[in-house]
Structure 1
Amino acid sequence: MAALDLLRPICLALPEVNERRSHMTPTFFVRDKKVLCHLWEDHHGDGELGIWCPAPPGVQADVVEREPDRFYVPKYVGHRGWIGMRLNIDPDWDEVAAVIDDAYRVAAPKTLVKILDQR
């Protein structure tokens, strides 16, 4: 199954998340405004399949140091604390879902996070 087919239900299960193309790649947004996650395939010829998403403070440095084969600092948005997660190296989709959940808690307004927590 393609990565997008596995990623889509994880993202769209979160409150008020929608999908549209942005920067020529599938992208998930909270309330059609803030980016939750980009799915990149061979971004500028890097040969990678992965997601880029916002992360809580301190997480980027921690995961990149602990698992550099799986996580990286993405171009353009890495300086804002975002993480890149490689999906072409036997991804653990439960871990992907946890990364997306963390990203949602960063990107979404508190009212939507509260709705998520009440589920």
Structure 2
Amino acid sequence: MVTEDDVRRVALSLPHTTERPSYGTPGFRVKDKLFARIREEGDVLALFVADESEKHGLIASDPEKFFTTSHYDGAAMILVRFGAVDVDELTELLTDSWRLRAPKRVVAEYYPAG
């Protein structure tokens, strides 16, 4: 199970990331574009995914870990329960969301091979 401190540590380790509240909860931004937010529940993370197909695939693959609400209908965003992921998976999820939202030149700095 991950904690808010784990989310913060991993998110802020990504290049050009800052923390700023979003809807009154901790939000993480790359070059001022939100890529992750801890929701009001305190143990749920909102992240971006590539598209709605990926979103629905993740939910179908593990509904105890991934879910959504009507607020995110039509959005390529997924909700992740802290208690269902470990730090390695959290790192992968946050990095993927960061990569989707970061400017191309920033991604190129972090992933020189493309």
- TM-score for both structures, normalised by structure 1: 0.84
The residue number in structure 2 matching 1:38 is 37
User: For 1:41 and 1:83, how far apart are their aligned partners in 2?
Assistant: 15
Q: Which amino acid aligns with 1:79?
A: G
- Gaps of at least 5 residues in structure 2 are none
> Which residue among 87, 108, 117 is the counterpart of 2:111?
117
The answer to whether structure 1 residue 69 and structure 2 residue 68 are counterparts is: no
Q: Does the 8 A contact of 1:72 with 1:85 survive in 2?
A: yes
The one of 42, 50, 73 aligned to 1:56:
50
Give, in whole Å, the separation in 1 of the partners of 2:100 and 2:57: 17
**Moved runs in structure 1, 4+ residues, more than 2 A?**
74-78
Residues 50 and 76, structure 2, Cα contact 8 Å, conserved in 1 = yes
**What's the counterpart of residue 101 of structure 1?**
95
For the aligned residue pairs, the C-alpha RMSD in angstroms reads 2.1
Higher mean displacement: 12-21 or 74-83 = 74-83
Cα shift at 1:78: 4.1
Q: Do structure 1's residue 23 and structure 2's residue 18 form an aligned pair? A: no
Structure 1: gaps of 5 or more residues: 43-47
SS at match of 2:83: coil
Q: Which structure's relative contact order is higher, taking Cα pairs within 8 Å and 6+ residues apart?
A: 2
Paired residue total: 112
Cα distance in 2 for residues equivalent to 1:97 and 1:74: 23
Amino acid of the residue matched to residue 101 of structure 1? Answer: T
**Identical aligned residues as a percent:** 26
The equivalent of 2:86 in structure 1 is 92
